[in-house]
Amino acid sequence: MKDIDLRFETLALHGNGAQNEAHNAIRFPVYSGVAFDFDRAEDMELAFTYRKPAHAYSRITNPTVDHFEKKLTLLEDGLGTIALSSGMAALSTTLLALLQQGDSIVASKHLFGNTYSLLKETLTPFGVETRFVDIRNPEEVEKAVDPTTRILLLETITNPQMVVPDFNEIAEIARQHGVVVMVDGTVTTPYLFKAKDFGAHLVLHSTTKYISGGATSVGGAVVDLGTYDWRRNPALTKYHKYGQGAFLARLRMEVHRNFGSCMAPQSAYLQTLGLETLFLRVKTSCENSLRIAGFLQQRGEVIKVNYPGLAESSFHELARRQFNGGYGGVLSFELGSKEEAFRFINKLKLIRRATNINDNKTLIIHPASTIFSDCSPEEREQMDVPDTLIRLSVGIENVRDLINDISQALDNLKL
Ligand SMILES: *Cc1c(COP(=O)(O)O)cnc(C)c1O
């Protein structure tokens, strides 16, 4: 298998990378236990000093989690992956591994709400400053970078604004300043977006979303794409001896180990299943999204539709060029007022009112009053989250049933 060149779909199913399963089980099992036996004290010493890979304790590594990590590494064409208990755990431990007091981050002002809060509320008191920029404006991005800047953080398609960055432009700024490009690729997954081909150094996923296979479990992962020279990062000085592996070494052996936010083996099992069918689900939800976006555009009640799949979208060209034939499974649109948005949401009969995205089922939410309710009205305006905005995460149902539901809710808007 190792020497044949396989495509994404086949790799997702057959790609292993992990050692053979003890009983040759086709489906890698759940090793739900905690500790692993060693033959000799010498072997324990080798394992604990990281000179010979071996599972010792499930908080640090576990065979089922390892299997999931290796599959994701193959799909991203990366150097290595560490799976964590959630997307937020992947983000927070990655930042903690790469930053020291006095460092700064330059981040897109269009970010997942909790990521924004992590940067702004949680990290600031520890002496890590984040400058939020409009990622569409390269001069603004470049101006925000200074010698303390270690990381440029952005998302592949932001939600609910649906902004798509020009990754080549960002990568060029990062290259000139020696900064790490850290991409949250949750909504595109390695199936739609090959971060490595667009100058990213690290790609993060909330595997809770698409990868989990349909909201089966919470999880996260960070993939080192093997493209950054970690000798440039002062927080990794002690780990420079690991060369290209310096970041993964510090995360695995220190930060991840000490913070303890490991992925549960049961979750890794479910998420490995999710990876196998990822391409099917992503494809269908993207096709459904495009159809729904087109339908919404034609309705008079709808003021504006944000979806990079639409030819009218200012991000269409970028999305077409950077993503693998799909435009994501999330879209947003505006109605005339907050009251209309609420009435529309309440009239839906099939689509669920829930906060997740990239589930198999279609979900709807009013972002300003929920996910962004922590933010002041000024912050919401800054982040382009108006009161009139609705976010739809499109599942894999028959699209005619979804359009019928949306249509009847719009018909009844004034009633
Ligand atoms: C959901 C999400 C996260 C956080 O992931 P959790 O698994 O919920 O912790 C981070 N980034 C993006 C883009 C997300 O959609």
Tally of domains within the chain: 2
Do 79 and 193 belong together in one domain?
Answer: yes
Residue 87 lies in a domain: yes
Q: Which residues contact 408 (CB under 8 A, 6 or more apart)?
A: 347, 349
Host domain of residue 190: 8-30+61-275
Do 327 and 192 belong together in one domain?
Answer: no
In DSSP notation, 75-126 reads: HHT-SEEEEESSHHHHHHHHHHHH--TT-EEEEESS--HHHHHIIIIIIGGG
Specify the pLDDT at position 375: 87
Do 235 and 263 belong together in one domain?
Answer: yes
CATH of residue 285's domain is 3.90.1150.10
Do 209 and 322 belong together in one domain?
Answer: no
More confident residue, 2 or 68: 68
- From first CA to last CA, the distance across the chain in angstroms is 61
Specify the pLDDT at position 197: 97
- Tell me what the mean pLDDT of segment 318-339 comes to: 97
Residue 37 lies in a domain: no
Task: Locate the ligand 1 atom nearest the alpha carbon of residue 208 and give its number.
Answer: 7
What's the rounded Cα separation, in Å, for the pair 242 and 326? 38
Do 258 and 324 belong together in one domain?
Answer: no
Do 391 and 296 belong together in one domain?
Answer: yes
Specify the pLDDT at position 16: 75
* Ligand 1 and 210: CB distance under 6 A: no
Would you say 388 and 369 are in contact if contact means Cβ atoms under 8 Å apart?
no
Residue 47 lies in a domain: no
Residue 376 lies in a domain: yes
* Ligand 1 and 88: CB distance under 6 A: yes
pLDDT category of residue 19 using cuts at 50, 70 and 90: low
What's the rounded Cα separation, in Å, for the pair 150 and 358? 30
* Ligand 1 and 208: CB distance under 6 A: yes
Do 308 and 231 belong together in one domain?
Answer: no
- pLDDT (tens digit per residue) in 305-328: 999 999 999 999 999 999 999 999
User: Ligand 1 pocket: which of 206, 357, 358 to mutate (most atoms <8 Å of CB)?
Assistant: 206
Last residue of a domain, one of 229, 255, 275: 275
Specify the pLDDT at position 17: 59
CA of 211 to the centre of ligand 1 (A): 12
Do 258 and 144 belong together in one domain?
Answer: yes
CATH of residue 70's domain is 3.40.640.10
Determine how β-strand 202-206 pairs with β-strand 180-184.
Answer: parallel
Share of the chain above pLDDT 90, in %: 91
Residue 373 lies in a domain: yes
H-state helical runs in 125-243:
138-144, 167-177, 189-192
CA of 2 to the centre of ligand 1 (A): 33
CA of 57 to the centre of ligand 1 (A): 27
Last residue of a domain, one of 253, 275, 297: 275
- Collapsing DSSP states into helix, strand and coil, what is residue 33? coil
pTM: 0.96
Specify the pLDDT at position 196: 98
Do 145 and 108 belong together in one domain?
Answer: yes
Would you say 157 and 164 are in contact if contact means Cβ atoms under 8 Å apart?
yes
* Ligand 1 and 179: CB distance under 6 A: no
What's the rounded Cα separation, in Å, for the pair 251 and 256? 5
pLDDT category of residue 15 using cuts at 50, 70 and 90: confident
- pLDDT (tens digit per residue) in 247-292: 999 999 999 999 999 999 999 999 999 999 999 999 999 999 999 9
User: Ligand 1 pocket: which of 108, 159, 186 to mutate (most atoms <8 Å of CB)?
Assistant: 186
Residue 50 lies in a domain: no
Residue 189 lies in a domain: yes
Q: Which residues contact 371 (CB under 8 A, 6 or more apart)?
A: 113, 355, 365
Specify the pLDDT at position 4: 72
Residue 90: both structure tokens together: 């992947």
